[in-house]
A and B are shown apart, each in its own frame.
Chain A
Amino acid sequence: MFLCSSVLVMRIYALIPAYNEEKSIRTVVADVKRYVDEAVVIDDGSSDATSSEASAGGAFVLRHVVNRGQGAALQTGFDFVRETELRVAPARPAPPDAVAAEARFRNRGLVVVTFDADGQFEASEIPHLIGPVVCGDVDVTLGSRFLGKSINMPLLKRLLLRLAVWFSNITIGVRLTDTHNGFRALSASALQTIQIIQDRMAHGSEIVAEIEKHNLRYVELPVTVRYSEYSKAKGQKFLDYFKIIFDLFVRKLVQ
């Protein structure tokens, strides 16, 4: 499956943040589970049956008691993987050999895939996306719909996203073609370093900024994003794009 030969015994996690996705989550989980070891759904305070549907589909479920945003849900997923794989809670007292444990963790055969809950992504592209991380070439793989395929994408959304990408490329040193794509793969090292503080939709830009800040090795790979009536209805409000750009702007000012 992978092109490299030095593949450690890998544990592959999928993190799926979800908010009120009871209709799609079960299929998404079922699809994703075919390519990963453990599918983790982070239910961001949904008011519908997302948690039980996800669980029924075979995912491990983390539940935010109130809605905090996709960025927050992702970070919760990151912390969860770190805790279970590292066997130590970040906030709790570290074991005597904390430094060694962390070093072991960083070199561990671990890869985390982030995946959207609305069915816009193709689970079959997971092996393709985690390849570079598994082979140790990069710390982060970023999916790009502009490198790949975007099917039935609303024109206004395409324009706004291009604008956000352009703005991000200007303000952050990392040049990308798609900065707000939830399909990513991270190594244990990236998991340990990246900290998402922006709870809401600006977390996409924050991840890019973190990559720049910590000099993480990254690569952008083409992915397919399919827009259906369902996902289009649930999509980000256009106002969010302006918020994202505004947040980027403020971040640049503050630096």
Chain B
Amino acid sequence: MTIKYILLVIILLIILKITGKFRSRELAGREYLLWLVVWVGGAFVILRPETATFVANLVGVGRGTDFMVYISVTVLFYLVFRILVRQEKTEREITKIVREIAINQSVRPLGTNNNEYERDTINK
């Protein structure tokens, strides 16, 4: 029984924290709403476990907790996938920047009417 209340307190603290982030503009409105729904939903399911069982039976799964686990794991996998994809994009952008610096620092300006290009300090 006590676990329930500990979890509820934690969730309350989390809700307070993300509200704070929203207020201070660190968190976008849409995202805030999404996470709010998640945490309030979580609190709701903890308070009234029957909800989970009800929905679980709707979709043909035996126990409410099992259902929660299935949903959570699926969502987590999806989120992680999104993060990895985003990270890959970021890596490519970093490379583009590093490349631009490398080429810019060595050739300037790009000659229009002459064949010589100025060399930088490395290439004197």
A residues whose Cβ falls under 8 Å from a Cβ of B:
42, 45, 51-52, 55, 60-66, 68-69, 72, 75-76, 79-80, 83-84, 87-89, 91, 197, 199
Name which residue of chain B comes closest to A200, CB basis.
B91
A60/B98 in contact, CB under 8 A: no
Interface size on B, residues (CB 8 A): 20
A87/B107 in contact, CB under 8 A: no
16 sampled A-B residue pairs with Cβ under 8 A: A52-B122, A60-B106, A61-B106, A64-B99, A64-B101, A68-B98, A69-B95, A75-B99, A76-B99, A76-B102, A76-B103, A80-B103, A80-B107, A83-B107, A83-B110, A199-B95
Q: Which residues of B contact A42 (CB under 8 A)?
A: 102
B95/A84 in contact, CB under 8 A: no
Q: Which residues of A contact B103 (CB under 8 A)?
A: 62, 76, 79-80, 83, 89
B111/A87 in contact, CB under 8 A: yes
A197/B92 in contact, CB under 8 A: yes
B98/A61 in contact, CB under 8 A: no
Q: Which residues of A contact B98 (CB under 8 A)?
A: 45, 64-66, 68, 72, 76
Q: Which of chain B's residues 69-124 have a Cβ closer than 8 Å to chain A? A: 91-92, 94-95, 98-103, 105-107, 110-112, 117, 119, 122-123
A63/B122 in contact, CB under 8 A: yes
Name which residue of chain B comes closest to A89, CB basis.
B110
State the Cβ distance, A21 to closest chain B Cβ, in Å: 16
Provide the bound-state CA to CA distance between A55 and B119, in Å. 12
State the Cβ distance, B72 to closest chain A Cβ, in Å: 26
State the Cβ distance, A3 to closest chain B Cβ, in Å: 31
The verdict on A87 contacting B102 (CB below 8 Å), with A63-B122, A199-B95 known, is no
